[in-house]
Each structure stands twice: as C-alpha cells, then as structure tokens.
C-alpha cells in the first residue's frame, strides 16, 4: 500500500469514525435537551408565577448545562479521532520499515549526519536495523538502541548527537501533526 493510498484510507476511516462519533454526540445532546425541555414544561404547567420564574431559570441552567455537556462530548469525540489517526500513522511508519523508503530514509539521515558531524560517526539503532545500516554505511560503528525505528548519530568525541528516531521525529512534530489531522478531518484549526 503506497503512502497516498494509506493517507486516503486513513482519511476515509477517520471521516467515517468522525461522522459516527459526531452523530452519536448529536443524539446524546438532543436527548439531553429533550429531557431538559420536558422537565421545564412540567414545572411550567404547575401554574404559579414563582414556579414559572423558577422553571425558566431551571430551563436556562439545564439548557446551558446540556450545551456544555454536548460540547464536551464532541470535543472528546474529536480527540479520539485525532488519537486514532496518530495511531494509524505509527502503524504506517512501522510498515515503512519493510520497504525501500525506510532504507532510503536511513541512508539520507546517516549521510547528512556524517556531513554535519564530520569525522567518524557512531550509530545507535534497533538491533533489527543493524544489517540494513551495515549495508548502507559499512564504516560506522553500531550500538543497540531501544527504538521503533530510525537512528541516533553521535560524533567521534561523543559530545554531539543527532537524534532521528521515529519517536523523536514524532515528538518533535506532534503539535504540527495534530493540527494537520484536526484541520484535515474537521476542516478547521483546533
């Protein structure tokens, strides 16, 4: 599955889940509003002027509460959609490790690291990537790193490093990623 197809698949899944969650939130909000209206009507039928004032105040309070609750439900639903999209991104990153795109990513990162750090470069990576790294850069010394993918490059004197692991790249860009997902799925900035 190509990146564009995966993105479209994520978009479709996310849009479908978004619609389901929003519909559920709308139904819950309608139920809450209907219950509040029913209770207000019951109080109003009591007939007394004081009861009418109390009922109106109660109605406003309940409607306000219902709107707040509906807003919270919608916000939670949106957050769930965003979290699912991020989870799908992680799945896709791990799938990329099986293809040429990952090898090219490592090659570029290692070449750039060698250029920036100068001299000998030490590479820390997941043990499952050792063979791939050796095929890309046979002159580097590799050590084990607990990561899902990517590498950490360290200068010869071990004072400077470049972190290009999946985890660090996702963490570094998480705010942008969340914003892009939010804008794409909901058509608005968060």
pLDDT of residue 23: 81
pLDDT of residue 54: 76
CB neighbourhood size of 129 (10 A): 21
Cα–Cα dist 24/34, whole Å: 15
What is the token pair recorded at 109? 């990162």
Q: Which of 22-26, 40-44, 70-74, 184-188 has the lowest mean pLDDT?
A: 40-44
What is the token pair recorded at 16? 């479908």
Name the one residue in this structure whose structure tokens are 């309940």.
62
- Report, as an integer, the average pLDDT of 28-37: 74
pLDDT of residue 41: 75
Cα–Cα dist 75/25, whole Å: 10
Work out whether the CA dihedral 118, 94, 177, 10 comes out positive or negative.
positive
pLDDT of 99 above 80: yes
For domain 100-169, the CATH superfamily is ATP synthase, E subunit, C-terminal (3.30.2320.30)
pLDDT of residue 152: 97
Domains of the chain, residue spans: 3-96, 100-169
Decide: pTM greater than 0.75: no
Going by the DSSP 8-state scheme, the letter that residue 126 receives in this structure is: -
pLDDT of 51 above 70: no
- Give the length of the chain: 190
């Amino acid at each position: 599955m190509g990146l564009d197809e995966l993105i479209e698949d994520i978009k479709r899944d996310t849009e479908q889940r978004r619609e389901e969650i929003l519909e559920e939130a709308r139904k819950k909000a309608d139920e809450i509003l209907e219950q509040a209206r029913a209770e207000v009507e019951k109080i109003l039928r009591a007939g007394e002027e004081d009861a009418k004032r109390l009922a109106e105040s109660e109605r406003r309070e309940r409607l306000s509460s219902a709107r707040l609750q509906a807003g919270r439900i919608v916000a939670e639903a949106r957050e769930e959609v965003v979290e699912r999209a991020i989870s799908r991104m992680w799945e896709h990153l791990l799938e990329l490790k099986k293809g040429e795109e990952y090898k090219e990513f490592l090659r570029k990162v290692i070449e750039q690291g060698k250029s920036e750090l100068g001299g000998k470069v030490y590479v820390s990576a997941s043990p499952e990537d050792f063979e791939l790294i050796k095929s890309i850069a046979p002159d580097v010394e590799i050590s084990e790193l607990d990561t899902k993918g990517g590498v950490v490059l360290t200068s010869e004197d071990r004072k400077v490093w470049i972190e290009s692991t999946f985890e660090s790249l996702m963490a570094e860009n998480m705010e942008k990623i969340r914003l892009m997902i939010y804008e794409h799925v909901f058509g608005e900035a968060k």
